[in-house]
């Protein structure tokens, strides 16, 4: 609070003007500077600084490379642009994803993946210190890769693969895959597992499968089976995963394919029970070559109108019509020639 000496109106006026100037200068200094970084396969739009934007682009390039190295025959390009909003803090993410803060007690994510018809979107915040703050994003990105390569992948296998790759940790020159989430370890150690035949026949409406509860036996057990198929030396030697996929593709019957691949399912279920309850698991190390090239990524500053247009398209994708309209008009008022803003207006209409 400012107090003034009686009778010193000139001094009061001077103090007020000085404070006004300071507030105005502070506001200008605090205004976000947005940049766009374009890597070979991703576009990052960020207010967290160029270095952070390049880092995020590089991490996603490395994660994409994991699939390319692990499954050389896979298609790993989604066929449409993937735009990543990399924002500097939770307040900035809250502006992009207001729905997660509108309901009291709802989880506040570090990031989300929003697939779309014209573009896929990711929104993440960069000020998180953790081995893998973007696990949910990587989980959903894995689904997108798998859906590109398989039609109607069994739910347990799709979720198991997404959990397996989603819990990857990106390092300087390699990516660790197959790390066990502590939540899954706790579930596996303290719960009875779902019988293999029931797990494999679980559909989207099954009581075992609840995609809102990823700390469930279904997710943990699916992770454990995929981990076994991809990391156990004997399973790798026998190529059990590719054998199962080939048998399932030929017959369209999971139980028949599983029996052909694993043998007696009761014995396999017992084996998986023992595997899931062990306390140590193999971790894979996939070398990557992308890191070190991030300085070659192109970058440019974005105008306020361009940022508003990018946000408008993101809001449309995430079903926030009010925010989409507001951002579209903001973009067009700033610059009526921004093509993305006209695209947003057309989509809204």
The residue-averaged pLDDT of 263-268 equals 92
- pLDDT value, residue 1: 35
Phi, psi for 44 (deg, rounded to 5): -110, 130
Mean pLDDT for 315-332 is: 96
Q: Which two tokens stand for residue 331?
A: 């973009």
The boundaries of the domain holding residue 261 are: 180-282
The chain-wide mean pLDDT, for the chain, equals 86
Torsion angle, alpha carbons of 133, 187, 236, 271, to 10: 180
Answer whether residue 235 is part of any domain: yes
pLDDT digits (tens, 9 = 90+) for 26-53: 333 347 899 999 999 999 999 999 999 9
13 located within any domain: no
Most confident by average pLDDT, 24-38, 58-72, 220-234, 282-296 = 220-234
In a domain, 36, yes or no: no
Given pLDDT bands bounded at 50, 70 and 90, which one contains residue 109?
Answer: confident
Helices in 119-253 by DSSP H: which ranges? Answer: 135-149, 155-166, 182-190, 196-201, 217-231, 233-238, 240-251
Number of H helices, E strands in the chain: 16, 9
234 in any annotated domain: yes
For residue 177, pLDDT beyond 50: yes
3-state secondary structure of 58: helix
Is the separation of the CB atoms in 87 and 123 below 8 Å? yes
Domains identified in the chain, total number: 1
User: What is the maximal distance between C-alpha atoms in the chain?
Assistant: 96
Residue 265 lies in a domain: yes
- Tens digits of residue pLDDT in 231-257: 999 999 999 999 999 999 888 899 999
Cα–Cα distances in Å, from 227 out to 12, 81, 105, 148, 325?
Answer: 71, 30, 33, 21, 45
Q: Identify whether 102 is part of a domain.
A: no
Between 73-82, 193-202, 213-222, the lowest mean confidence (pLDDT) is in: 213-222
């Amino acid at each position: 609070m400012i107090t003034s000496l009686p009778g010193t109106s000139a001094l009061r006026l001077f103090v007020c003007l000085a404070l006004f100037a300071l507030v105005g200068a502070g506001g200008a200094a605090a205004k976000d500077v947005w940049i766009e970084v374009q890597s070979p396969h991703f576009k990052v739009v960020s207010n967290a600084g160029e270095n952070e934007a390049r880092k995020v682009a590089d991490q996603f390039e490395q994660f994409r490379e994991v699939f390319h190295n692990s499954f050389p025959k896979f298609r790993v390009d989604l066929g449409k642009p993937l735009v990543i909003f990399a924002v500097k803090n939770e307040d900035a993410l809250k502006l992009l994803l207001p729905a997660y803060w509108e309901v009291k007690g709802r989880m506040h994510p570090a990031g989300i993946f929003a697939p779309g018809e014209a573009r896929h979107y990711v929104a993440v915040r960069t000020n998180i210190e953790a081995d893998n703050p973007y696990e949910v994003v990587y989980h959903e990105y894995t689904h997108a890769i798998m859906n590109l390569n398989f039609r109607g992948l069994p739910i347990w296998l799709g979720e198991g693969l997404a959990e397996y790759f989603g819990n990857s940790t990106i390092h300087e020159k390699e990516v660790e895959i197959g790390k066990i989430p502590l939540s899954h370890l706790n579930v596996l150690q303290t719960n009875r597992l779902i019988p293999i035949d029931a797990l494999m026949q679980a559909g989207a409406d099954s009581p075992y499968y609840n995609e809102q509860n990823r700390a469930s036996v279904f997710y943990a057990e699916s992770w454990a089976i995929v981990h076994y198929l991809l990391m156990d030396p004997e399973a790798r030697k026998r190529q059990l995963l590719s054998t199962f996929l080939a048998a399932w593709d030929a017959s369209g019957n999971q139980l028949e394919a599983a029996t052909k691949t694993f043998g007696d399912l009761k014995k396999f279920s017992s084996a998986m029970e023992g595997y899931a309850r062990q306390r140590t698991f193999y971790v894979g190390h996939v070398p990557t070559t992308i890191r070190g090239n991030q300085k070659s990524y192109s970058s440019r500053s974005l105008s306020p109108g361009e940022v508003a247009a990018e946000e408008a398209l993101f809001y449309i994708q995430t079903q926030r019509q009010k925010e989409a309209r507001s951002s579209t008009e903001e973009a067009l008022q700033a610059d009526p020639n921004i093509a993305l803003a006209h695209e947003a207006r057309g989509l809204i209409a």
